[in-house]
Amino acid sequence: MKKLNQEAMKDIIRVKSLISADVETLLNQQIKKEAQSSSAYLSMASWCDRNGFDNSAEYFFKQAEEERQHQMKFFRYVLDMGGSALSPEITNVKIEYNSFREIFEEALDQEISVTQSIKNIAARCHKEQDYVTVEFLNWFFKEQREEEYKARRALELFDLIGEEGTGRWEIDKHVGKIHYGNEAGE
């Protein structure tokens, strides 16, 4: 009898989610944000490819894949914590851009907004002493440091090189060489 009770207790513990309903909601919003980022980058890759900026197209294809991985990381985390991960619906994906430069401006804005949104989740987690999720989020802060650096670097090229003459062609060439970090990967 005693053994049975212990088994029953275990089940009760197992069904309980390890994250609060509020944190679960914020994480699901983040899943959507990462999916939106991925779709936006894919659109940017398409525009760049159509307009002859092959290196930038490759750069954005890679970013699109990374955002998909971010989405999956959040998705699996919610499930691992006993929550419900929701597959998001992505609508209103932009297809046309006014200029080559506008794409990089939007890319940087997007990364800044993602960093802010992860900060908001962390703030909520600190408030309710959810240090498990805080620890999980730390990987993303490091990732955002890299993502924002690359997006800023790309945009800087427009001022450094200038768009006149073969400028855009030169910018595209340099976008392909943007690199972050040292050999240790820090």
Q: Which is nearer to Fe ion, 34 or 172 (CB)?
A: 34
> Which member of 30, 75, 78, 147 binds Fe ion (CB under 5 A)?
147
CA gap 70, 38 in Å, rounded: 9
Among the candidate windows 46-54, 68-76, 78-86, 167-175, which touches Fe ion by CB under 5 A?
68-76
How many residues touch Fe ion under the rule CB under 5 A: the total is: 4
* Cβ–Cβ < 8 Å for 33, 121: no
Among the candidate windows 119-127, 147-155, 161-169, 178-186, which touches Fe ion by CB under 5 A?
147-155
Task: Give the per-residue contact string, 34-63, with Fe ion (x = CB under 5 A; - = no).
Answer: x-----------------------------
* Cβ–Cβ < 8 Å for 28, 85: yes
Residue nearest to Fe ion (CB): 70
* Cβ–Cβ < 8 Å for 107, 97: no
Which residues, 6+ apart, have CB-to-CB distance to 87 below 8 Å?
A: 75
| Sign of the alpha-carbon torsion through 75, 77, 79, 82 | negative
Least Å distance, CB 4 to Fe ion, is 47
Residues in the chain: 186
> Which member of 35, 57, 70, 157 binds Fe ion (CB under 5 A)?
70
Least Å distance, CB 74 to Fe ion, is 9
| Residue type (1 letter), 184 | A
CA gap 104, 66 in Å, rounded: 17
Among the candidate windows 43-51, 67-75, 88-96, 167-175, which touches Fe ion by CB under 5 A?
67-75
The contact set with Fe ion (CB under 5 A) reads 34, 67, 70, 147
